[in-house]
Structure 1
Amino acid sequence: MTILISVLAFIAAIGLLVTVHEFGHYWVARRCGVRVQRFSVGFGRPLWSWTLGRDRTEYVIAAIPLGGYVQMLDDREAPVPESERHRAFNRQPVGRRMAIVAAGPAANFLFAILAYSLMFMVGVSGIKPVVGYVEPGSLAAEGGFQARDRIVQVGDTETVTWELAALNLLEQGLDGRRVEVLVEDAQGREVLRSLDLSDRRRLLDDGPLLDKLGIVPWHAWSEPVLGELIPTGAAARGGLQSGDRIIQADSLPIDSWQSWVAHVQARPDQAIQLWIERDGRREFMVIHTGSREVNGERVGLIGAYPLVDAEAAEAMRAQVRHGPWTAVVQGIERTWDMSVMTLRVMWRLLTGEAAVSNIAGPISIAEYAGVTAVIGFSAFLGFLAIVSISLGIINLLPIPVLDGGHLLYYCVELIKGSPVSPTVEAVGQNIGIVLIGLLMTLAFYNDFMRILG
Structure 2
Amino acid sequence: MDYAAGVGLLWNSLLIKVVPFLFVLTIIVFFHELGHFIIGRLCGIRVLVFSVGFGPELAGFNDRHGTRWKLCAIPLGGYVKFLGDENAASMPDANALERMSEADRSEAFPAKSVGKRAATVAAGPIANFILAAAIFAGTAYFSGLVVGDPVVAEVQAGSPAEAAGFRPGDRVISADGNEIDYFGDLQRYVSVRADTPIRMTVERDGKPLDLTVTPRETTQADGFGNDYRTAVIGLVASNDGSSFRVHYLGPLESLRYGVAQSWFVVARTVDFIGEMFAGKQDTKQIGGFVSIAQISSQVATLGFAPLLNLAALLSISIGLLNLLPIPVLDGGHLLFYAFEAARGRPLSERVQEIGFRIGLALVALLMVFALWNDISRLT
Q: Tell me the TM-score range normalised by the shorter chain.
A: 0.7 to 0.9
Question: How far apart, in 1, do the equivalents of 2:208 and 2:17 lie?
Answer: 42
Give TM-score, length-normalised by structure 1.
0.68
**Secondary structure of 2:280's aligned partner:** coil
Deviates more, 1:356-365 or 1:140-149: 140-149
Q: Which moves more between the two structures, 106-115 or 353-362?
A: 353-362
CA distance in structure 2 between the aligned counterparts of 1:45 and 1:413, rounded to whole angstroms: 35
Say what the alpha-carbon RMSD is for the aligned residues. Answer: 3.2
Tell whether 2:214 aligns with 1:196. Answer: yes
Give the aligned partner of residue 63 of structure 1. 73
Q: Report Cα offsets for 1:184-223 as digits up to 9, x if no partner.
A: 78x99976554314x7xx469994456x637485686xxx
Aligned to 1:282: none
State the match for 2:179 in structure 1.
157
Unaligned runs of 5+ in 1: 221-311
State whether residues 183 and 237 of structure 2, in contact with CA within 8 Å, keep that contact through their aligned partners in structure 1.
no
Q: How many residues align?
A: 351
Q: Distance in 2 between matches of 1:147 and 1:450?
A: 39
Identity value in percent: 32
Q: Which amino acid aligns with 2:38?
A: W
Q: Report the CA distance between 1:90 and its aligned residue.
A: 0.7
Structure 1 match to 2:198: 179
Offset of residue 423 of structure 1: 1.5
Is it true that 1:408 corresponds to 2:338 in the alignment? Answer: no
Q: CA deviation at 1:23?
A: 0.5
Task: State the shift of 1:157 in Å.
Answer: 3.4
- Is the 8 Å Cα contact of residues 132 and 215 (structure 1) preserved in structure 2? no
Q: Is the 8 A contact 1:131 1:216 kept in 2?
A: yes
Kindly provide the CA deviation profile for residues 108-166 of structure 1, in whole angstroms up to 9, marking residues without a partner as x.
Answer: 1111221121122121235666777766444344334567777665442325244x433
TM-score, length basis structure 2 = 0.80
Q: CA deviation at 1:346?
A: 1.2
- The correspondence of residues 333-352 of structure 1 with structure 2, limited to 5 A, is 333-352=260-279
Q: Distance in 1 between matches of 2:377 and 2:243?
A: 31
**1:22-58 Cα distance to aligned partner (Å, 9 max, x none):** 0110111111111111100111222212222132x11
- Secondary structure at the aligned position of 2:301 is classed as helix
**Alignment CA distance shift 1:214-1:161 (3 Å):** closer
Per-residue deviation, residues 296-319 of structure 1 (Å, max 9, x unmatched): xxxxxxxxxxxxxxxx34x35332
Shift of 1:418: 1.2
2:21 paired residue among 10, 13, 17: 10
Q: Secondary structure at the match of 1:43?
A: strand
Structure 1 residue 88 corresponds to structure 2 residue 108 = yes
Query: Which residue in 1 is equivalent to 2:348?
Result: 421
Amino acid in structure 2 at the alignment position of 1:170: S
Q: Is structure 2 residue 287 aligned with structure 1 residue 375?
A: no
Aligned to 2:8: none
Instruction: Map residues 324-363 of structure 1 onto 2, 5 A cutoff.
Output: 324-363=251-290
Name the one with the larger strand percent.
1
Does 2:62 align with 1:51? yes
- The one-letter code matched in structure 2 to 1:339 is V
Structure 2 residue identity aligned to 1:418: R
How many Å separate the matches in 2 of 1:131 and 1:361?
A: 38
Shift of 1:370: 3.0
- 2:6 counterpart residue number: none
